[in-house]
Amino acid sequence: MMHARQGFSLKHDPVAGSAPWLAPAVRGAIGIPQALFAYMYPGLWTTFFEALGYAVVASGPTTRQRIERAGLVSETEHCLPVKLLDAHLDALTGRVKRVFVPRILSTRRGFIACPKLGALPDAVRARFGDRFDVLTVDVDENKEPVRKTLGRLARRLGATAREGRRAADDAETAMRRTRFDGAVTPAESGKPYVLLGHPYNVLDPYLSGPVLHILERLGVPGVRMAFDSAPQPGGPLQWDSCALIYDALQALDPARYAGAIHLSSFSCGCDSIAEPFFRDAAQARGLPSMVLCLDEHASLTGLETRIEAFVDTVSGAAL
Ligand code: SF4
């Protein structure tokens, strides 16, 4: 599925800056890899640093070449999203001296993040420490909302309290707008298939675009799940984005949606545990569902065959 960038994209680039009162970039440059946390907090980090006066250098979008590079520069046992982080960092080599890589411990209060995300700065220092200084901050919404985290980071970077507040305001506004653009309401041209998964799979246009493109070619609408809610406490899953996927599946009404397509990653430890819960949630709703597993070797032909078979089966059962 990684062969060509398809014609689907979000209205706002998840790492594009948009601070309306953009300060001159006087504090130096910061590289932001367009992977993982760029999609978990879309628009937030770039806007925040730009608002504080930094020149943000984005690694650029995911491309076929970058996915191929991911297979070369990263550890073989990593999942594709973590490999892609390494490839995006690799693409920043020679362009910046400092990169931002947060330690993500929780993105939703009451839930925890995938353990791999808690080790990111250490892994990046070990792999790229000879190329970059790694600026980091702990993101743990069980301890403080991300707004407070931004304030803490701003103070560490020497900003005044007022500068930190304004930068956090702009960053949160940018994130709300970008998250909203990622959510799509049901199409009027028939019951859509919903694309679910971790935000860095569903919101990266290069990874999810081909799925939506294939659905369009088959004459059925496809929509991405939204990431603007908090998961319900008391569910079976403690990982934040897995709990969001589970809740989204439980809320899907088969009268309004044709089916669910879970965009997962080869070697994803969290999904390997959560998948039976996803399947049960879909079955309990009477909603057809399938899993598509991504890695750097996935082919567009294989993807087409599987989606086509799924849509045929669902259409046949509905007759
Ligand atoms: S949740 Fe899965 S895909 Fe995401 S970083 Fe963890 S192992 Fe990788």
Res 319: pLDDT: 61
Owner of token pair 């491309």: 63
Cα of 161 from ligand 1 centre, angstroms: 35
Res 19: pLDDT: 46
Query: How many angstroms separate the most distant Cα atoms in the chain?
Result: 64
Res 34: pLDDT: 97
Res 189: pLDDT: 67
Other Cβ atoms within 10 Å of 144 Cβ, number: 14
Mark the ranges of the chain whose per-residue pLDDT is less than 70.
1-25, 180-189, 318-319
Q: How many CA atoms lie within 13 A of 202 on its CB side?
A: 28
Res 180: pLDDT: 58
For ligand 1, atom 7, name the residue with the nearest CA.
Answer: 268
- Of 82, 23, 119, 72, the closest CA to residue 201 belongs to 82
Q: Which residues line ligand 1 (CB under 6 A)?
A: 79, 81-82, 114, 116-117, 198, 265, 268-271
Cα of 131 from ligand 1 centre, angstroms: 25
- Cα→Cα distances 33→15, 89, 168, 232, Å: 9, 6, 20, 30
As a whole number of angstroms, the distance between CA 244 and CA 247 comes to: 5
Cα of 10 from ligand 1 centre, angstroms: 22
**Residue 68 identity:** E
Res 188: pLDDT: 59
Domains of the chain by range and CATH? Answer: 29-181 (3.40.50), 183-318 (3.40.50.11900)
The β-bridge relationship of strands 55-58 and 289-294 is unpaired
For ligand 1, atom 2, name the residue with the nearest CA.
Answer: 268
Cα of 173 from ligand 1 centre, angstroms: 27
